[in-house]
Structure 1
Amino acid sequence: MLQVALAQVRLNARRFIAVSLAVLIAVGFLTATLIINSSSKASLTQSVGGAYRNADLLITRDMYVDDAAVLDEDTAVLVRDTPGVDEIYAAQQSFVTFSQDRGSVFAQLGNTSDSAELFPVEVLQGTLPASDSEVAVDRDTAERYDLMEGSVLGITASLADAAPATAQLTVRALVSTSDDPQVRGTPQLYSTGATVARFAEPEAGLRSIQVAVADGAAVEDVRTALQEDLSGLAGIDVRTPQEQTDDMVASFTGGNNILTTILMAFAAVALLVCALVVSNTFSVLVAQRTRELALLRCIGAARSQIRRSVIVEALIIGIVASAAGVLAAVGLVGGTIAYLRTLPDSGFATLSVSPLSVVAGLVTGILLTVLASLVPARAATAVAPLAALRPAEDVRAGTRRGRVRLGIGLVLLAVGSALLGIGAVRSDLIIALPGGILSFVGVLMCATLFVPSLVRTVGRIAAPLGVPGKLAAVNAVRNPQRTSATSAALVIGVTLVTMMMTGAATVRTSLDDVLTAEYPVDIAVSGGTAVGGTADAASPFTSADVEAALAVDGVQEAVLLPVGGVAQLHGGPFAVYAVDPSDAAKVLRDSSLVPEGNTILMPEGIDAKTLTVRGADSSVELDVVVSESSNMLPLISTSTAESLGGPPLDDPNQPLPQMWLSVAEGLATNALIDLRTDVAEALDVDDYAVSGSAIERGAFEQVINVLLMVVTGLLGVAVVIALVGVANTLSLSVLERTRESSLLRALGLTRGQLRGMLALEAVLIAGVAALMGSVLGSLYGWLGAQSALGSFTTVAPSLPWLQLLAVLGVALLAGLAASVLPARRAARLSPVAGLAAD
């Protein structure tokens, strides 16, 4: 029988294309997910651990231990004197600002190292600082602020209980930018240890101590010695760089890889749909060879041999398709990683193909194919040779199998619906997620009981089309079990696609409400601070800047907010800005919140009833009006500011005027993303100085749109596989009804009518599945959004009707396309030849 199986695979290779493609896609998806998981961890290790990858040991302070000791110079001396230690790098860190253009720029200042091997970055140009008045700057910062060797930076740091520390440092070197995600995007400066100490809080201590072990010394021996020497210091860890990196990566991901979890869920969907299609496809293949298998039985082949023959065919297909899927996944992810490495910000991307990903892909694909073939293999041998053409028993509610399936399905549906409802009411996604899964499985298990009736009901629409329409409605449910299995595969894909679309639309609407409450205006542009009160440290916004902002495409209104005074709250002074009420109404999202003559508008959380605002000439006590936004600037009217004589003149760090903008309605996501850069360029400020609800909405919508596009694409694979199943179902139907189709042709049914009948069958199956999937997906999408966001805001269902109609239309067209080949095959058979068939 092995030779028979090999011969069938060789002679009927075309028949296995569909099932091979389904297995290849599903296995490739699973393997790619596992490779992405291992590669993302390797890439994080490369970036997070880049600061100490050359060290043998790393000594750090555990920030989560109460009363943990502080690493200081005494600790560094103790480490340096430990036997087996060759070199150390006592890493210091402070946070400073340097003046640039309109305001101050936040930066991280680290110290250089005597050991070039342990220094975390590479010197690209010049030499590292040798004196306390020199500094090295990372390449990205140098390019952003036009810095070069010889440039002078005015460094400032505000220290607790001390006067601000200042210094003028000359750039002596350009260094590579660290890939550490904790500091990426922040300007990175390096100077001598003494300089860093001047700008650091006295109790801060060292950030870490990197250790290089001497030649001939064992790392574990040196580690043990260091642990003994430092045993008197609480909360001090001695780790290898890999252990430190793993701990930091775990802190970033919370011990879990959410991306992998999400992709694994999609991979499971693809595998489930693939299993259904493989099973249906093998049913077609077995049906096409019924006479051949029956003949083998007649000449002595046992049932077990026939069954093994079909299973061996599935095993061969599984091995070949799974291997191809694994290779395709490795090639796809490898190509993506290679492309990422060419990008400036992703040079640390690393390809890591773990043995687990390869083995898991191969084993899963092979087992899936073999297990999915068991039912068709059993069907091929469960009857006597002369009765091989008799249809199998349907799984109806009246049979024992039907009653068992109905009972289990109803239980799962009830339990899952209850959990889903509780999760939505409590806004708990952990409860809602398993509830949604259980309820959906329950729907699928009960599908055999109601899908045929639903198809038959919808089929009445085709009755006006005459005999082909009436026959299509009847034939579509001739084999309820296979019709339900085929529609179930399509229901899974459409439900998940629709769920993501509805969930995305609902989340987008809900987030817009949250952002409206959080940000008072579409765009707010910060003018920074005039550091030290020097006139050349920053340039305030003027009316010319307002005109420049209005010239930016997408900006509708622009309002300048000058400083009108200073108020005191909870022991700290803060700037109060002035605005004309009519101007405020143009840009505030809540136009009712405008400052009047005797009021001051304050952000959310202020419990004071009145506040005293001080100006250059006088002071005034104003009633507090609290907004619902935590980002609201303290506002008074321009008339009040004029009565105060403007801001006081004794503030050394005078805040600069701010600017509020409103954007045009209906801007696309890409336009909102570009608007931030356009406004920053027009006003000559950094991108981070531009914020607001429009910017945040654009960022959120960009993420949502990308995720929706990716998810829809991934689930679209499942839909395509399911449509292959629709085509296979029609192929099997054509084989079973050869004599019937020929008899209809003999009675006057034309070839066009026969093709139309089969096309209507496909459209009915696909249409009902798409309709069920759309309803279920919309419900799951709304309840999922309610479970995820209900604790933050009111979640109202938002149905993307155009997208849902597009999904339904695509499903109908795809079902129609799936009927082309089976209908063509049926129409080509002559009535005489069909009636002569057994």
Structure 2
Amino acid sequence: MLRVAFSQFQSHSRRFIAVGLAVMLSVAFLSTTLMMGASTRASLGASLGEAYSKAGLIATPDTGTFNDAALAAVRAVPGVTEAYGRMEAYAEFTAGGQEVFAQARNLAPMALETAAVTDGALPESADGVAVDRAAAARYGLRVGDSLTLRAPDGATTVAMTVTGILRGSNDPFTSALPQIVAGTPAVSALAAGARDPQGGTGAGAGYGTIQLALASGTDAATTSKNVLAALTGVGAGAQVKTADEQVTAQVAMMTGGQDELTIILLAFAGVALIVSGLVVTNTFAVLVAQRTRELALLRCLGACRSQVRNSVLAEALVVGLVSSAAGVLAAVALMAALIGWAGTQPDMAFATMAVPSSSVIAGLAVGTFLTLGAALVPAKAATAVAPLAALRPADDAGIGNRRGRVRLVLGLAALALGIPLLALGAAGVMLVVAFAGGVLSFVGVLLCATLFVPQLVGLAGRLASPAGVPGKLAALNAVRNPARTSVTAAALLIGVTLVSLMMTGAATARQAFDDALAGTYPVDMAITGGALSALERDAVARIDGVATAALLPVAGTMAGEGMDSPVYALDAAEAGRLLRDTTITLEPGRIYLPEGSPAGSVEVNGAAGRATLEAVVLRTRNIPALVSTDTARQSGLTGSGVAPTDSARTDGTGPAASAVWLRLADAPGGAPLSADRIKDIQSAVAQAAGVSAGAVSGAAIERVTFNEVIDVLLLVVTGLLGVAVLIALIGVANTLSLSVLERTRENSLLRALGLTKGQLRGMLALEAALVAGVAAVIGAVLGSVYGWLGARSALGSLAEVTPSVPWLQLLGVLAVAVVAGLLASVIPARRAARLSPVQGLAAA
């Protein structure tokens, strides 16, 4: 029987090529998903974790900063070869005729230094400084130039010489400002008594983190405990993490305290596994079902059941191994192409490819076992009946027979269980529950497909009636052989559902991420700390790239426990035009506080009186205390009938306001502004307002940088989407091709009864288009619902998730599905038309 099995590869190679392609693409889908997860984590490590990519352990203080005693203590821990206390400070300097506000950090030991020099060298002396490439190009800095760094409070200046130009940073937390690297003494002098961009006073020199390099073979867990004990011994409370743990913690911080990214990637892997199983099983089942009569004939010639079954499994084993290996290689090639392209883009240079062993092993194992499992079920069915009975046509599954009733009961049970689980998971933000419900409900749809898909195709067949006899025959064939119609539609239904799910899920997730970023960074740009009035507001409002600007006077200060935080007043109508977060609506009698502030009542001292206001805690720390102008007036903070804005006269001679907030315009076409363009606007705003660069802050650049990280993730998902499209196309092509081959005698009979070659080709093309169109519509609807509910279950805790349906993309999918059905029928239809009626009727 092994000889019989291997002879099939020579006599029916065309059949195995079709199945092999389905297996290969399914495995490629699964492996690409796993590689996507590893590449995403590697890319985040190259972006968020760039600052400590060479560290074995990172110590972060519970409060404040580390001192020299803490640094010396951890340096003495066994297994630690080097320790780097990272110190940061803000600095101002003049270059290219502009006032520049930059972020400085101290140089690390070479074993832990992550900065790469593109020109010159890193600082070796106390008066040396290195500047990032973008800032050097923008402000005309070169190696050898003199640079005077000033602390933002203006009390400290440090004379430096540029020794090197650095490659730009990919870290979204540091790329917003020009970056400079200098020795620890210079940075310590800048940090001592410096204030941050919002006008607050810093805590002086100190180490924000301590990075540790470990000796080869050192156990990180044991060393982590020893480092923690050493820090505790000098009175420094801290947390010690590995670089991977630090990246995970930062991702969790960005996603509302939960590592949603890992959950989403695990869901992608689960979806890939389910879809791979459905596609491979469906395609291989059609192939083996076509050979049922052949296998039964072998039984008649003396082969026992186990021999026939083992013969089919041997074929499946070879096809599974070869196709799985090809699928893994295809996944590697696809990911290499995507990451390679992303790496060439300036904004995505941190994209990093990773091929974990799990993606290779899982691809080979899953592909092989799925192929074996797909072949086992129909092979067992073919050998479970008597040989002569197997030679007779089998009844299709329908309501009138036992097979149909079993499928109906199982399908309805899966739907009855899956739909509530899906709804519960989406409502309760439980991705695992929603995923299980989605799988169960989709399996239920597939099990019930035989009962409703042929009827829907028959109804759609009325659209083909104007085509004459071929159109009527195409509609009748869909109803006459419901099993064949359902099997053909199932392949495309799976693919289109997945494609639509990803498209809708990506669009919905994109909207949710935008809303989350808007909530975290509601103000694009702010000017603080200057004598600002309506003149400055009007001046910055005229700058190209500024959409709107508003003047915010100080309505008072928050009272209690030594607090002297300013409270700004903003007109409620202006807030709607200015703030990115549309959920912030300034209501009378309330004060809006940044995240982490205590809830309850807040006492505010104003120029004209004192008021108690109800606190509303926002979901962002990047905003000061805020009240509406109506609240400031009605609460008596600014005097009866006098609004805060009245204190800033339009002629500029009145009392100055305390802040100006700006919202930036989008680039043409609705795209966000680039980071370089935002920096140009920032410099122009500082000049127009007559303030130093340090007085202009904002979140516009942070928003752009985080959007770039998200874009890389969605780019990889788009590559995954391309694999899903290929699976859908190969699935429908396989089933349609095998279906036409199975109908050789039937088509020849139609030719003998007078159907022309053109009419035969037209009938098969219309039939394929009808089945593909109905399957695509069902898949698009299901995929849109699954995509929205899946995004809601994954991101509901991060932001308000509203459905975003990419209608044009879905229409494109429908068009591609119909065209794919037509193309899949071309070659089999030509073959059927070329075969003479006599030869076709004589075919076995």
TM-score tier, shorter chain, comes to: 0.7 to 0.9
Q: Structure 1 pair 389/463, CA: closer, same or farther in 2 (3 Å)?
A: farther
The reply on whether 1:770 has 2:791 as its aligned counterpart is no
TM-score, normalised on structure 1? 0.76
Do the aligned partners of 2:768 and 2:825 also contact (CA within 8 Å) in 1? yes
TM superposition shift of 1:745: 2.4
Q: Which residue of 1 aligns with 2:199?
A: none
TM superposition shift of 1:246: 3.2
Q: Structure 1 pair 674/469, CA: closer, same or farther in 2 (3 Å)?
A: farther
TM superposition shift of 1:425: 4.4
SS in 2 for 1:568: strand
Q: Which residue of 1 aligns with 2:280?
A: 275
Amino acid at match of 1:260: L
Q: Which residue of 1 aligns with 2:669?
A: 668
TM superposition shift of 1:354: 3.5
Among 231, 244, 247, the residue aligned to 1:246: 244
Q: Which residue of 1 aligns with 2:640?
A: none
Q: Structure 1 pair 332/687, CA: closer, same or farther in 2 (3 Å)?
A: farther
Among 494, 497, 500, the residue aligned to 1:498: 500
Do the aligned partners of 1:422 and 1:432 also contact (CA within 8 Å) in 2? yes
Do the aligned partners of 2:733 and 2:820 also contact (CA within 8 Å) in 1? no
SS in 2 for 1:153: strand
Q: Which residue of 2 aligns with 1:161?
A: none
Q: Quick check: 736-745 or 603-612, which moved more?
A: 603-612
Deviations along 1:270-302, one digit per CA (max 9) or x if unpaired, are 413431443245237626xx55x5664454433
Provide the C-alpha distance between the structure 1 equivalents of 2:139 and 2:674, rounded to a whole number of angstroms. 22
Q: Which residue of 1 aligns with 2:158?
A: 168
Deviations along 1:406-438, one digit per CA (max 9) or x if unpaired, are 333222211222223334445655543432332
Percent identity (aligned): 43
Provide the C-alpha distance between the structure 1 equivalents of 2:300 and 2:280, rounded to a whole number of angstroms. 31
Q: Structure 1 pair 709/681, CA: closer, same or farther in 2 (3 Å)?
A: same
Deviations along 1:769-825, one digit per CA (max 9) or x if unpaired, are 122223323433444455567678876656555444443333223222222222222
Q: Which residue of 2 aligns with 1:814?
A: 820
Provide the C-alpha distance between the structure 2 equivalents of 1:120 and 1:514, rounded to a whole number of angstroms. 30
**Structure 1 gap segments, 5+ residues each:** 159-163
Q: Which residue of 1 aligns with 2:637?
A: none
How many aligned positions are there? 788
Provide the C-alpha distance between the structure 2 equivalents of 1:479 and 1:433, rounded to a whole number of angstroms. 33
Do the aligned partners of 2:62 and 2:239 also contact (CA within 8 Å) in 1? no
Q: Which residue of 2 aligns with 1:834?
A: 840
SS in 2 for 1:96: strand
Do the aligned partners of 1:284 and 1:732 also contact (CA within 8 Å) in 2? no
Deviations along 1:499-552, one digit per CA (max 9) or x if unpaired, are 4444566667788889999999xx95544655xx9x9xxxx9586665542xx6
**Structure 2 gap segments, 5+ residues each:** 193-202, 253-258, 630-642, 687-692
Q: Which residue of 1 aligns with 2:373?
A: 371
Q: Structure 1 pair 643/20, CA: closer, same or farther in 2 (3 Å)?
A: closer
The reply on whether 1:683 has 2:679 as its aligned counterpart is no
SS in 2 for 1:208: strand
Q: Structure 1 pair 406/225, CA: closer, same or farther in 2 (3 Å)?
A: closer
The reply on whether 1:568 has 2:568 as its aligned counterpart is no
Provide the C-alpha distance between the structure 2 equivalents of 1:96 and 1:698, rounded to a whole number of angstroms. 21
Provide the C-alpha distance between the structure 2 equivalents of 1:47 and 1:34, rounded to a whole number of angstroms. 20
Provide the C-alpha distance between the structure 2 equivalents of 1:282 and 1:687, rounded to a whole number of angstroms. 70
SS in 2 for 1:60: strand
- The 5 Å alignment of 1:481-496 reads 481-496=483-498
Amino acid at match of 1:668: G
Do the aligned partners of 1:568 and 1:612 also contact (CA within 8 Å) in 2? yes
Among 277, 285, 291, the residue aligned to 1:286: 291
Q: Which residue of 2 aligns with 1:155?
A: 150
Q: Structure 1 pair 646/426, CA: closer, same or farther in 2 (3 Å)?
A: farther
Provide the C-alpha distance between the structure 1 equivalents of 2:809 and 2:219, rounded to a whole number of angstroms. 64
TM superposition shift of 1:560: 5.6
Q: Structure 1 pair 691/434, CA: closer, same or farther in 2 (3 Å)?
A: farther
Q: Which residue of 2 aligns with 1:107?
A: 103
- The 5 Å alignment of 1:445-456 reads 445-456=447-458
Deviations along 1:359-413, one digit per CA (max 9) or x if unpaired, are 2211111112222222343455455555554222323334444444333322221
Q: Which residue of 1 aligns with 2:434?
A: 432
Q: Structure 1 pair 407/197, CA: closer, same or farther in 2 (3 Å)?
A: farther
Do the aligned partners of 2:305 and 2:383 also contact (CA within 8 Å) in 1? yes
Q: Which residue of 2 aligns with 1:480?
A: 482
Q: Which residue of 2 aligns with 1:740?
A: 746
Q: Structure 1 pair 50/833, CA: closer, same or farther in 2 (3 Å)?
A: closer
Q: Quick check: 460-469 or 768-777, which moved more?
A: 460-469
The reply on whether 1:189 has 2:185 as its aligned counterpart is no
Deviations along 1:485-510, one digit per CA (max 9) or x if unpaired, are 33223222222333444456666778
Superposition RMSD on alpha carbons, in Å? 5.4
Q: Which residue of 1 aligns with 2:22?
A: 22
Amino acid at match of 1:125: G
Q: Quick check: 336-345 or 135-144, which moved more?
A: 336-345
- The 5 Å alignment of 1:12-161 reads 12-41=12-41, 60=59, 63=62, 71-77=66-72, 88-99=82-93, 105-110=101-106, 112=107, 116-117=110-111, 119=113, 121=115, 125=120, 128=123, 130-131=125-126, 135-148=129-142, 149-156=144-151
The reply on whether 1:9 has 2:14 as its aligned counterpart is no
Amino acid at match of 1:15: R
TM superposition shift of 1:732: 4.1
- The 5 Å alignment of 1:485-634 reads 485-503=487-505, 525-527=525-527, 529=529, 546-549=541-544, 561=550, 567-570=556-559, 571-572=563-564, 574=566
Amino acid at match of 1:94: E
- The 5 Å alignment of 1:402-441 reads 402-426=404-428, 429=431, 431-441=433-443
Provide the C-alpha distance between the structure 1 equivalents of 2:704 and 2:315, rounded to a whole number of angstroms. 52
Do the aligned partners of 1:789 and 1:795 also contact (CA within 8 Å) in 2? yes
SS in 2 for 1:476: helix
Provide the C-alpha distance between the structure 2 equivalents of 1:737 and 1:212, rounded to a whole number of angstroms. 69
Do the aligned partners of 2:39 and 2:353 also contact (CA within 8 Å) in 1? yes
- The 5 Å alignment of 1:666-745 reads 668-670=669-671, 677=678, 680=681, 683=684, 711=717, 714-715=720-721, 717-745=723-751
Provide the C-alpha distance between the structure 1 equivalents of 2:267 and 2:244, rounded to a whole number of angstroms. 22
Q: Quick check: 621-630 or 565-574, which moved more?
A: 621-630
Do the aligned partners of 2:601 and 2:613 also contact (CA within 8 Å) in 1? yes
The reply on whether 1:444 has 2:446 as its aligned counterpart is yes
Provide the C-alpha distance between the structure 2 equivalents of 1:228 and 1:586, rounded to a whole number of angstroms. 52
Q: Structure 1 pair 18/199, CA: closer, same or farther in 2 (3 Å)?
A: same
Provide the C-alpha distance between the structure 1 equivalents of 2:800 and 2:238, rounded to a whole number of angstroms. 46
Do the aligned partners of 2:675 and 2:705 also contact (CA within 8 Å) in 1? no
Provide the C-alpha distance between the structure 2 equivalents of 1:49 and 1:585, rounded to a whole number of angstroms. 36
Deviations along 1:177-212, one digit per CA (max 9) or x if unpaired, are 566665455524322347516725369467326467
Do the aligned partners of 2:58 and 2:209 also contact (CA within 8 Å) in 1? no
Provide the C-alpha distance between the structure 1 equivalents of 2:519 and 2:40, rounded to a whole number of angstroms. 36
Deviations along 1:64-107, one digit per CA (max 9) or x if unpaired, are 9xxx9x7543445556677898x754524133232557766251
Provide the C-alpha distance between the structure 2 equivalents of 1:24 and 1:116, rounded to a whole number of angstroms. 46
Provide the C-alpha distance between the structure 1 equivalents of 2:604 and 2:78, rounded to a whole number of angstroms. 64
* Structure with greater Cα Rg: 1
Q: Which residue of 2 aligns with 1:469?
A: 471
- The 5 Å alignment of 1:372-387 reads 372-378=374-380, 381-382=383-384
Do the aligned partners of 2:503 and 2:806 also contact (CA within 8 Å) in 1? yes
Do the aligned partners of 2:496 and 2:779 also contact (CA within 8 Å) in 1? yes
Provide the C-alpha distance between the structure 1 equivalents of 2:469 and 2:794, rounded to a whole number of angstroms. 51
TM superposition shift of 1:258: 4.7
SS in 2 for 1:392: coil
TM superposition shift of 1:316: 1.7
Amino acid at match of 1:7: S
